[in-house]
């Protein structure tokens, strides 16, 4: 027996997607700051009230874009994750998949990524509002690690995906300011730094680095207290 609520949910998902698509078109044409929710509603062919029903602010709409971009990134990364076991190549490949996913939005994405650098902004990748996309991204990096042939120290296994995500955030920040039209400078940074990340992971197995490893794990705990997830604040 079919679910009587399914058509309503499907229509809701289509409307939500249409609003996001309309916003992205206007961001490309007018820029993030000059695009209003009223203009987004008109572009999507819905009432202003309906647009606000799905997204109570322009910032919340960007959160919807973050969520969808994370899904698209995971799909784009699948071929690398299914075929490659070398950790450095997995990191480079998944980073490149993100760059490909974001390329259509690069013209305006830098603008709201710069806004996201404001610590109090809900667009910040560390904000409670961004926690669904953040947690999904960390899980993707967990898969990057677990599917590789690199031995991960047991003490670091639970927290390393978050550390790799933080490293990736550094790559994203570089991309925001990358002057090359094809993001080639960002790709070069990724290709040069990924092997260093893998080498650093290998060093953590050495006894002399054991104390440093404890400090890293403690640091992650302190960072989590400063930037709690939505679940931790409810």
pLDDT in tens, 109-165: 766 666 666 767 777 787 788 888 899 999 999 999 999 999 988 888 888 999 899
Question: Using CA atoms, how far apart are residues 173 and 90, in angstroms rounded to an integer?
Answer: 20
What are 25-41's pLDDT values in tens digits?
Answer: 888 888 778 889 999 99
85 in helix, strand or coil? coil
21 in helix, strand or coil? helix
211 with 118, same domain? yes
Q: How many domains does the chain have?
A: 2
Output the pTM of the full model.
0.82
100 with 171, same domain? yes
Asked if 86 contacts 149 with a C-beta cutoff of 8 angstroms, the reply is: yes
State the CATH number of the domain containing residue 140: 1.10.357.10
41 with 63, same domain? no
């Amino acid at each position: 027996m079919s679910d009587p609520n399914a058509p309503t949910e499907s229509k809701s998902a289509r409307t939500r997607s249409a609003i996001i698509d309309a916003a992205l078109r206007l961001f490309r044409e007018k820029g993030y700051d000059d695009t209003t929710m009223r203009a987004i509603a008109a572009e999507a062919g819905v009432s202003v009230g309906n647009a606000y029903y799905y997204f109570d602010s322009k910032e919340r709409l960007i959160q919807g874009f973050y969520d969808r971009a994370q899904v698209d990134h995971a799909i784009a990364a699948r071929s690398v994750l299914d075929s490659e076991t070398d950790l450095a190549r997995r990191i480079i490949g998944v980073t490149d998949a993100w760059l490909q996913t974001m390329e259509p939005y690069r013209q305006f994405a830098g603008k709201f990524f710069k806004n996201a650098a404001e610590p109090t902004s809900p667009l910040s990748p560390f904000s409670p509002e961004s926690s669904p996309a953040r947690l999904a991204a960390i899980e993707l990096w967990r898969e990057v690690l677990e599917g590789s042939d690199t031995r991960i120290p047991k003490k670091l296994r639970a927290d390393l995906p978050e550390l790799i995500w933080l490293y990736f955030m550094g790559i994203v920040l570089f991309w925001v300011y990358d002057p090359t039209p094809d993001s080639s400078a960002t790709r070069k940074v990724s290709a040069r730094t990924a092997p260093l990340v893998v080498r650093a992971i290998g060093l953590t197995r050495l006894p002399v680095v054991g104390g440093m490893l404890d400090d890293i794990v403690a640091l992650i705990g302190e960072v989590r207290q400063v930037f709690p997830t939505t679940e931790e604040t409810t």
